[in-house]
Structure 1
Amino acid sequence: MATVTIDGDTLVVEIEGMDKLWALKSRLTIPLDKVRGATADPGMIHQPKGIRAPGAHIPNVITAGTFHLAGEKVFWDVRDPAKAIVVELADAQYARLVIQVEDPRTTVSLIEHSVRRP
């Protein structure tokens, strides 16, 4: 699971517990100007993941780490698809983050209210 916070102009994703080991990451920081938006999306877990490098994918248990698909890099950290959100990014290290959070609705609202719209 991940905890999402906003620190000034930065989206901070803290990977918690053993997920750090599976995802091979403990923290992601993304400038808010690179964040396009976020949605709650439990169905995302059924989408193709691509090539895992590095990370772990045990179907119906955990998807965590960096995955490459169709020229894009996607970061995953999901055990419970019902709590999954997708954070869309532009011109960042990843094209999107697919992460499990405690309260998807509240986290999506936090991100959406923090993103500057033109």
Structure 2
Amino acid sequence: MARVSIEDGRLIVEMEGLGKVWALKSRLVIPLEHVRGATADPGIVKEPKGLRAPGTHFPGVITSGTFHGKDGKVFWDVRDAARAVVIELVDEPYARLVVEVQDPRSTVALVEGAIPAR
């Protein structure tokens, strides 16, 4: 699971517990200017992931780490699909982040409310 917060104009995504081990990352920091939006999307876990490098993937159990697909690199940290949130990025190494959070609705509202007006 990940904890998402906003600090000093940056989106902070911190992996918790064993998520740090499975994802091989403990924290991602993204300028809010590079965040396009966020949605709660439990169905995303059924989509093709691409090549895993590095990370962990046991279908139906855990998807965690960096995956390289046709749309670019995607960071995953999901065990419970019902809690999946997708954060779309621009001008970042990752095209999007797909993370499991405690409360998807409030996380989406937090991110959407923090994005600068374009």
| TM-score after normalising by structure 1 | 0.98
Q: Which amino acid aligns with 2:33?
A: D
Q: Which amino acid aligns with 1:98?
A: V
| Runs of 5+ consecutive residues of structure 1 not aligned to the other structure | none
In structure 2, what is the equivalent of residue 106 of structure 1? 106
Counterpart-to-counterpart distance in 2, 1:71 and 1:11: 22
Q: Which amino acid aligns with 2:54?
A: P
Counterpart-to-counterpart distance in 1, 2:86 and 2:2: 12
Identity %: 61
1:117 aligns with 2:117: yes
Q: Which amino acid aligns with 1:83?
A: R
Change (3 A) 1:92 1:54: same
Q: Secondary structure at the match of 2:94?
A: coil
Counterpart-to-counterpart distance in 1, 2:97 and 2:62: 15
| Runs of 5+ consecutive residues of structure 2 not aligned to the other structure | none
1:33-56 C-alpha deviation (Å, 9 max, x unpaired): 000000000000000000000000
| TM-score after normalising by structure 2 | 0.98
1:38 aligns with 2:38: yes
Q: Secondary structure at the match of 2:22?
A: helix
After TM superposition, the runs of 4+ consecutive aligned structure 1 residues lying more than 6 A away are: none
User: Considering only aligned residues, what root-mean-square deviation do their CA atoms show, in Å?
Assistant: 0.6
1:20 aligns with 2:6: no
